[in-house]
Amino acid sequence: MTNQKKLTALVLAALTVCACPWGHPASAAEKADGHEMGAVDTYELDPVDVEGQRESVPGGMVQEQTKLGVLGVQSIFAVPYSEMSMTEKMLETYNDPSQPLANVLLNNPSIRSSTSSPMYSDFSMRGINMNGNHMMLNGVPSLYSQFTVPPSHVIARMDITSGPNAAVNGVSMSNNGTNGGATPAPGTINIVTKRAGDVPVTRYTQVVSGRGTFGEYIDVGRRFGRNEAWGLRVNGELLHGKMSLKDGEMHNSNIFFNLDHRDDWSSTNLFAGFFDQRVDGAQRWFTYTGDTAKLPTVPDAATPYDFKETTKRMWGHILTLNHEQKIDARYTAFFNLGFSRRDGEKYNSNASLIFDENGNFTNGSSTLTKTRNRSNAQHEAARNVYLQAGIKGTAVTGAVHHDFALSVDRSWAKYWNKNNYGKDGQYGGSIYEGIRFGSNFYPLPGYLPYAPQWEELNVGVTLADAMRVGKWNILLAASQKHEHFKNIAKDQTIENTNILPTWGLTYRPTDRTSIYYGHTESFSRGALVADESKYVNRNETLEPVRSKQNEIGVKHMAGGVLSTLSFFEIDEPNMIDAAVGGGKYRRAADGKNRYRGIEYTVNGKPHAKWTVTGGLLYLDAERAHTAGGAKDGAFVAGVAKYSGVVGLTYEPTDACSFTGRLVWSDKAYIENVYGKGKIEIPAYATVDLRMTYKTRINTVPTKLSLMCYNALNKSYWMGRGGSSTFGLSMPRTWMFSAQFDI
């Protein structure tokens, strides 16, 4: 049975659930979305804490509570770093099915998208590149990849931490997509999946976007059993058709279920499902060989840069299991498990396409340029397994109240890969007219059986204590991480044992105001040098790296608006390609990238009919401690000094709303492919517009939405944090959706 047939069968089974007498009759008001109405209790595990009603900040876009690693749910005013807990309403307002999660993450001012192509999930947080590898699912790390991210239709909440919190989450893997691993993330994104609420949900959504992408979504939730102790939520997606980019197509099929159980002494949550995701075309990643002051004029964003067979496909399964068991009134044991398996195939033009100062695609004479513009057939696979067990509790010592946790975890991953490259010298044309392929471009290389590349095993012990003394909150946490990394391709093994500390201090003069300081240190294995002929140390694993973060800030809630102002400093290792002659390079660490910045976020409802979300970021990024001081004080590639986002929603009536969003990024700088020059990526600003209308079709509550991304059809280059590669925007994209609560 094909995956699509499996999905159809499961969708029909899920819809059949609607007829089962598990839920009690409800009024029309009760059948409204519980998250949006703010009237439904939710039971979420973070990782396994059972909660009552979660209080949203006015406007419903973010929540006042968030996940504090192994300590569970805490008020954001007690957390000593920047935190934004995005709700399901935020996702529904800003999500674009052609760019999963990217358009929602933009509402956090510390995050900027690094690519417009759904072939990748790259984004930067405070200037440092990240992707799906850095996302957690129900408190479990390392289940996603550079291509795969959690589908938005299964998400109830996203806890975004852009600050020093490394030691409170346990151990995670080092792999980081095409970066070959290694850079410790500046923050975390924890995805909490939808659970069945007390009000039954039977929802069907139809989406039309781009040049003919049609999507169908089901969402069915019921509680059943004695005292409605059991809950089942089923979510499915069928998405197929042409994107707004000419010749670009998406094909997504997935089905997920969330089964939970709760009683007075325990709570359990099981999330599982399978996915099959394919993108045809849509390569938008480039490198520059010129030595000009500014990149060549940006081409029309609608221009395709693919041969007709260009595709990227990933399919697999994913599962998380969270369990919490009360021992007595003070102590609770918890257990978390995660598993993911994914397999993939890709036909594209190697990695980033290279062009010169005239915009012409180059086949150049150097080894680097000749081998970059060529076709590639890639076959890959990955397996990830995570286990965590621990105990948490409360204690009082004198005037100090303690919330503490002790956990042990084990994270294992293995990666297989094989590339098969096509002929050199077959790329002509330019960024303005598209690629012209030479007469010997075909036949394309075939897929080869993949081979194991690396295996990583991390074992850790985490101890955390959140103390309250009057108006003061003190966080002390540390993880001892033992890392065993085997570079199979190079037959090289690296082992490290390190202690990663996190501490923070918060003063709360009132319940709605806090002043805080936080510090953390992250540690990760060194980067795995790519298997490319330009590197004399290809496949080598570099030395382990350490990154430090410090942040001080203030949070305040007033007039229905939550604001956070933070000052931060982050350092991370800088990677360079050092020329060794003959067109060859050595990949190596060279000093630090240092990021100092000021961030302001705002979320809330300053007026009965207006909701605001967004903020501003100032980021001063420079290199330090480079070899011989040669690059000290130099810019960090791809990082804009100023950026911001503001989203406004106006609701003249309960049935109608209008949303506008402005996303702005200042100019950034890169070096060319040879590591020379200071080349400007121009600033850009985009506008997104949305309107919704709630009505009834017969007796069925219906919500109609029309969204336009990049409404002014702006074409622009996009920097990637810490990299001299860059992306090209997507053209204007329209999306219409109709949501039916049956």
Q: Is the pLDDT of residue 297 over 80?
A: yes
Gyration radius from the chain CA atoms? 25
- Name 116's Cβ contacts closer than 8 Å, sequence gap at least 6: 99, 102, 284, 301, 718, 727, 728, 729, 730
Confidence of residue 28 (pLDDT cuts 50, 70, 90): very low
Half-sphere exposure of 332 (CA within 13 A, CB side): 24
Cis peptide bond prior to 150, omega within 30° of 0: no
Give the closest residue to 234 by CA, choosing from 55, 5, 9. 9
Give the Cα separation of 435 and 370 in Å (integer): 15
Fold of 3-741: Maltoporin; Chain A (2.40.170)
Give the closest residue to 475 by CA, choosing from 485, 462, 466. 466
Sign of torsion over alpha carbons 295, 296, 298, 300: negative
- Determine contact, residues 231/260, Cβ cutoff 8 Å: yes
Confidence of residue 519 (pLDDT cuts 50, 70, 90): very high
- Lowest average pLDDT, out of 79-88, 95-104, 445-454, goes to 95-104
- Lowest average pLDDT, out of 215-219, 376-380, 630-634, goes to 630-634
pLDDT digits (tens, 9 = 90+) for 599-620: 999 999 999 999 999 999 999 9
Tokens 């956990």 found at: 407
Give the Cα separation of 703 and 680 in Å (integer): 44
Mean per-residue pLDDT, 158-172: 79
Give the Cα separation of 352 and 178 in Å (integer): 11
Residue 302, helix vs strand vs coil: coil
Give the Cα separation of 54 and 44 in Å (integer): 10
φ/ψ bin of 29: left (φ > 0), alpha (ψ from -120 to 50), beta (otherwise): alpha
Cα–Cα–Cα angle for 63, 323, 382, nearest 5°? 90
Determine the pLDDT at residue 531: 66
Q: Is the pLDDT of residue 45 over 50?
A: no
Length of the chain equals: 742
- Lowest average pLDDT, out of 90-94, 140-144, 171-175, 340-344, goes to 171-175
Structure tokens at 660: 């506008």
Determine the pLDDT at residue 525: 67
φ/ψ bin of 725: left (φ > 0), alpha (ψ from -120 to 50), beta (otherwise): beta
Determine the pLDDT at residue 369: 58
φ/ψ bin of 114: left (φ > 0), alpha (ψ from -120 to 50), beta (otherwise): alpha
Confidence of residue 42 (pLDDT cuts 50, 70, 90): very low
